Amino acid sequence: MKVGIIGCGFIGSELAYFMDKSKDFQLIGMNDIDKNKVYGLIKNLKGNNPKFMDIDELIKKSDLIVESATKNIVKDILSNKNLDKKNKRLLIMSTGGLIGSLKLLNNIKNCEILLPSGAIAGLDAIKSVSGKIKSLNLATTKPVKGLEGAPYILKNKIVLSDITGKRTVFKGNLSDAVGGFPQNINVAAALFLASKFDNIKVKIIADKNAKYNTHEIEAIGDFGVITIKTQNLPSKNPKTSYLALLSAVQMIKSLKNNVKIGS
C-alpha cells in the first residue's frame, strides 16, 4: 500500500518511522509547510526513500493519505480533486478540522475516511447510543504547557504562569472549543462525529501539577449513563497525547487485518 504523509511533526514523523519498518506499507511521499522537516526526516529513514511532494501529487499517487498537520489543512485535502477515488483511504488526525467541513466530508463517496479514536476510549459505546443521548459533557485537564499558545488563551490574556493549581480556563460549546484550542481539542471533534450530538458541553482545565492529559466524558440518555476517563501521558509534543499516536498506528495496522474488533 503506497502511503503519503501530510504534516511531519511528532505524529507524522513517528508514523513515517513505523512505515519505514513495515513490509505492508511503502512510504512514497511527504509534505510539510517546513520543507526542512521533510528532508531531515527522509535522511533518517532506512527502508523507504520518499520524496517531498506537493499535496496534489501526494494525494494522486498515494493509496493511503495520512493527515497529521493542523485542522486548517483538512478542508483543502477533502476538496482536492484527486481524493475521492476508489481504493483510496484518508486518515485524519486533526479531527477538529472536520467540524467546519462537514458538507465536504459528507460529499465524499469513494475514498474511505479513517478517524482514529485518538486520545480517548469508548467511542464504540458513544456511536452505539447516537440518537439517544440527552446530555454529553467533556472535561479536559491538561498541564499548563499543553495549553500555551492556544488562540483562546491569547485572546483572553490568560497568564498560564500565574496558575498555581487547577483553573478552569474555558467552558462552552464544541465550536468555540475547536476554534479556541485547535491543537488540544480534537477529542471533542471526535466525540461529536461519533455521537452526532449537537449540544456537547466542553470544559478545559489547566493544572500546573498535572502529569497526564485527562479526558472525562459523560453521556446520559434512556440507555443509562456512560462514563469514560482516560489519563494520557503527553508525547514529545506537550499538546499531543502519546495515545493519539498509538491509536493511529493501530488503525493503520488494522487495514491489513482480517479480524476486526469493535465497530
Active site amino acids = 215
What is the spatial distance between Cα 134 and Cα 67, in angstroms, rounded to a whole number?
33
Query: Do residues 101 and 75 lie in contact, with contact meaning Cβ atoms separated by under 8 Å?
Result: yes
- Cell numbers that stand for 210 in this block: 498535572
What is the spatial distance between Cα 52 and Cα 35, in angstroms, rounded to a whole number?
8
Q: How far is CA 243 from the centre of its chain?
A: 11
3-class SS of residue 229: strand
Antiparallel, parallel or unpaired: β 201-207 and 166-173: antiparallel
- Cell numbers that stand for 207 in this block: 493544572
What is the spatial distance between Cα 174 and Cα 171, in angstroms, rounded to a whole number?
10
Nearest-Å Rg of the Cα atoms of the chain is: 18
* DSSP 8-state code for residue 195: H
